[in-house]
């Protein structure tokens, strides 16, 4: 049987696809190539398709012996979601509903969903446990929360079991050096900082220097993308073995400020990284740090690369060996 991976050629999806392929699974990577790269397929079967194309999704389920789905495909830029909410709800909610509808029609019951720390908004307690109140501060986070809630209803109505993994800050690159992060345009902090180190950008703008944090810049919990991929595999195995639906926070439990990321990147790359403090970015909470105790306890997940140093080092290995990213889209 095969696993359908939507967004399988994107950043986090491609790391999960690699792990699935390495463990001998048959994988169909369903991707519209907006952010995905064929070079990142790890030999999986590529289907070029969009979540908004319900017929293409149906056709894909018709043609392949799929019994589980990992759903990564989404729009995922916080700032962009504030200016383009329609697009975000369209892709992340309507697109995900199309996928779930095609699953129901094909009697496919297992789904691993890429959710986000953005469902929480400004935290009341840190580290954030799964049951923390959800008050998303941007349409991206709200779109992810909506689909989490839809999934709970789909289990009652249609028997779809799901594990939602709420990523904090996915970062780093697979230690094999074969796949990594390549977004155009790039919005994420670590790749932007490393592009400055590579002299591809003049400077990084720190979004706000007056947050209520020790150095005034935002604090985030950076989690290695390969550790995230591993969590997907654990979650899938749990559902395959009859485990219940669940929601898990995915981070390392340690927060680092934007300024700390820049400082450590200077040390790792040995290059000066120029930064300027600019205005706050709309929709950003000051501090997001996960408690991932639940997935550790229930699924036995343990991050292999929890150190920010390792995360930045693997990202640097990828960026410095692929200064222009993948060669083929
Ligand atoms: N950030 C920044 N400058 C940039 C990009 C990001 O200061 O050019 C900050 C952003 O405000 C956030 C952190 O870096 O506090 C991580 O942002 P990213 O976009 O990588 O991930 P997010 O936290 O939005 O998921």
Tens of pLDDT, residue by residue over 46-76, are: 999 999 999 999 999 999 999 999 999 999 9
Task: Report the distance separating Cα 321 and Cα 313, nearest Å.
Answer: 12
Cβ of 205 below 6 Å from ligand 1: yes
Judgement on whether residues 11 and 106 belong to the same structural domain of the protein: yes
Q: Tell me, yes or no, whether 34 lies in a domain.
A: yes
Q: Tell me, yes or no, whether 193 lies in a domain.
A: yes
Cβ of 220 below 6 Å from ligand 1: yes
Judgement on whether residues 94 and 204 belong to the same structural domain of the protein: no
Quickly tell me which residue has 């909470």 as its tokens. Answer: 285
pLDDT in tens, 170-204: 999 999 999 999 998 899 999 999 999 999 999 99
Cβ of 258 below 6 Å from ligand 1: yes
Q: Tell me, yes or no, whether 165 lies in a domain.
A: yes
Ligand 1, atom 10, lies closest to the CA of: 207
Task: Report the distance separating Cα 150 and Cα 160, nearest Å.
Answer: 11
Please, what is the end-to-end C-alpha distance for the chain in angstroms? 28
Judgement on whether residues 140 and 287 belong to the same structural domain of the protein: no
Task: Report the distance separating Cα 54 and Cα 42, nearest Å.
Answer: 26
Per-chain mean pLDDT for the chain: 97
The CATH number assigned to the domain holding 311 equals: 3.90.25.10
Positive or negative torsion for Cα 36, 37, 40, 43 = positive
Q: What are phi and psi of 232, to 5 degrees?
A: -65, -40
- How far lies 262's CA from each of 112, 173, 180, 213, in Å? 33, 18, 19, 16
Q: Tell me, yes or no, whether 328 lies in a domain.
A: no
Per-residue pLDDT averaged across 259-264, rounded? 98
Catalytic residues: 140
Task: Report the distance separating Cα 172 and Cα 312, nearest Å.
Answer: 6
DSSP assigned state of 328? -
Count of structural domains within the chain: 2
Judgement on whether residues 53 and 63 belong to the same structural domain of the protein: yes
Range of the domain at 264: 189-220+253-291+300-321
Judgement on whether residues 149 and 194 belong to the same structural domain of the protein: no
Judgement on whether residues 87 and 105 belong to the same structural domain of the protein: yes
Pocket test for ligand 1, best of 258, 263, 289 (most atoms within 8 A of CB): 258
Cβ of 188 below 6 Å from ligand 1: yes
Residue 201, Cβ density class (10 Å: 0-12 exposed, 13-18 middle, ≥19 buried): middle
Q: Tell me, yes or no, whether 179 lies in a domain.
A: no
pTM value is 0.97
Judgement on whether residues 70 and 122 belong to the same structural domain of the protein: yes
225 touches 172 (CB < 8 A) = yes
pLDDT in tens, 288-307: 999 999 999 999 999 999 99
Q: Tell me, yes or no, whether 178 lies in a domain.
A: no
Ligand 1, atom 3, lies closest to the CA of: 206
Judgement on whether residues 61 and 197 belong to the same structural domain of the protein: no
Q: Tell me, yes or no, whether 138 lies in a domain.
A: yes
Q: Tell me, yes or no, whether 175 lies in a domain.
A: no
């Amino acid at each position: 049987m095969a696993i359908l991976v939507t967004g399988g050629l994107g950043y986090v999806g491609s790391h999960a696809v690699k792990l699935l392929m390495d463990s001998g699974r048959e994988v169909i990577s369903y991707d519209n190539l907006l952010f995905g790269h064929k070079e990142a397929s790890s030999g999986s079967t590529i289907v070029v398709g969009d979540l908004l194309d319900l017929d293409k999704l149906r056709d894909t389920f018709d043609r392949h012996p799929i019994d589980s789905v990992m759903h990564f495909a989404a729009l995922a830029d916080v700032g962009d979601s504030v200016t383009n909410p329609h697009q975000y709800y369209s892709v992340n909610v309507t697109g995900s509903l199309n996928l779930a509808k095609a699953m129901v029609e094909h009697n496919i019951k297992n789904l691993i969903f890429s959710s986000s720390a953005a469902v929480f908004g400004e935290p009341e307690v840190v580290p954030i446990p799964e049951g923390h109140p959800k008050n998303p501060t941007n349409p991206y986070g709200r779109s992810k929360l909506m689909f989490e809630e839809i999934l709970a209803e789909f289990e009652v109505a249609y028997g779809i079991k799901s594990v939602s993994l709420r990523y904090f800050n996915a970062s780093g690159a697979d230690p094999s050096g074969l796949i990594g992060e390549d977004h155009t345009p790039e919005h994420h902090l670590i790749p932007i900082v490393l592009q400055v180190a590579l002299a591809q950008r003049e400077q990084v703008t720190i979004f706000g220097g007056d947050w209520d944090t020790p150095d005034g810049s935002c604090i985030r919990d950076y989690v290695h993308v390969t550790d995230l991929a591993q969590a997907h595999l654990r979650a899938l195995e749990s559902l395959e073995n009859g485990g219940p639906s669940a929601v898990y926070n995915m981070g390392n439990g340690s927060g680092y400020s934007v300024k700390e990321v820049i400082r450590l990147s200077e040390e790792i790359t040995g290059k000066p990284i120029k930064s300027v403090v600019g205005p706050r970015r709309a929709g950003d909470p000051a501090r997001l740090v996960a408690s991932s105790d639940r997935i550790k306890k229930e699924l036995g997940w343990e991050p292999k690369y929890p150190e920010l140093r390792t995360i930045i080092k693997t990202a640097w290995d990828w960026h410095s060996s692929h200064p222009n990213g993948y060669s083929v889209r």
